[in-house]
Amino acid sequence: MFPALAEFIGTALLIILGDGVVASVLLSRSKAQNGGWIVITSGWALGVFVAVFSVGRISGAHLNPAVSVAMALTGNFPWASVPAYIFAQVLGAMAGGVVVWLAFLPHWKITDDPSAKLAIFCTAPAVRCAPANVLCEIIGTFVLLFGIFCMKGASGQLPGAAVYPIDLGALGALPVALLVMAIGLSLGGPTGYAINPARDFGPRLAHAILPIAGKGPSDWGYAWIPVAGPLVGGSFAAAAYAALGKF
């Protein structure tokens, strides 16, 4: 119960800070309005650092269904724990979206663009092309998971060494945050680098349910891509790392 609760809290923190920086940049009359892509990728990276550092010692700080599934596929995380983790991650992401809506409450009605409001909660492609969009998410999540596996292996803390394999203090959380920033800067342009099904699906649910002033549709036609792509990419990363004989 406590690891799943930690996943809920950690994922909520991730979304509060990650979606929060997007809201700061996009919403009208925010002091950070028009801050740009560097601000957004930096805010997301710092959000990852805070979330992983906060709950890593309790749950392993998966904070991402792609991580939980990849670890289970390699036998380094119990399949029986995967549903509880994913449920907690999605619910935490949804809760984080609600908090962001509350934090910026006066700004929604003075922001005219519905697509900007949706972008605060979830991702959308720069060029809508489903095969290319899925491929981009697969690549981004492959880099994320393979990078995490290699970082932990290089530190002597192999994934799977414990039930909650990504047990990280400050020194472990920082490389993961830098990895996420690198992915955002280098691969985030085409799709907004969801690289995490919960990060996209939970806040998208919040956008659909909340009484956000002037919001448009939640773009459910695209919603499967930031779910399927990361799950496939994470699974490929686990297989690739396992092929190196590291697990």
Q: Residue 1 — very low, low, confident or very high, per pLDDT cuts 50/70/90? A: low
Domain extent at residue 52: 2-243
**Residues above pLDDT 90, as percent of the chain:** 83
User: How much is the pLDDT for 171?
Assistant: 61
Angle between the 114-121 and 82-103 helix axes, to the nearest 10 degrees?
140
> Average pLDDT of 182-207?
98
The CATH number of the domain holding residue 221 is: 1.20.1080.10
239: nearest Cα among 80, 70, 81: 70
Q: Residue 167 — very low, low, confident or very high, per pLDDT cuts 50/70/90? A: very low
> Average pLDDT of 72-101?
95
User: How much is the pLDDT for 214?
Assistant: 95
User: How much is the pLDDT for 158?
Assistant: 39
The pLDDT tens digits for 30-42 are 999 999 999 999 9
197: nearest Cα among 123, 104, 132, 106: 123
Question: Is the pLDDT higher at 201 or at 166?
Answer: 201
Tokens of 201: 């699906």
Burial class (CB in 10 A: 0-12, 13-18, 19+), 244: exposed
User: How much is the pLDDT for 172?
Assistant: 72
Whether the pLDDT of residue 141 is over 80: the answer is: yes
Please give the tally of structural domains in the chain: 1
Whether the pLDDT of residue 71 is over 80: the answer is: yes
Interacting residues of 229 by C-beta distance below 8 A, sequence separation 6+? 133, 134, 135, 136, 137, 138, 140, 141, 194
The pLDDT tens digits for 111-136 are 999 999 999 999 999 999 999 999 99
12: nearest Cα among 221, 232, 239, 206: 206
Whether the pLDDT of residue 163 is over 60: the answer is: no
When mean pLDDT is compared across 68-72, 115-119, 182-186, 189-193, the lowest value belongs to 68-72
Whether the pLDDT of residue 156 is over 80: the answer is: no
> Do the beta carbons of residue 157 and residue 167 sit within 8 Å?
yes
Q: Residue 164 — very low, low, confident or very high, per pLDDT cuts 50/70/90? A: very low
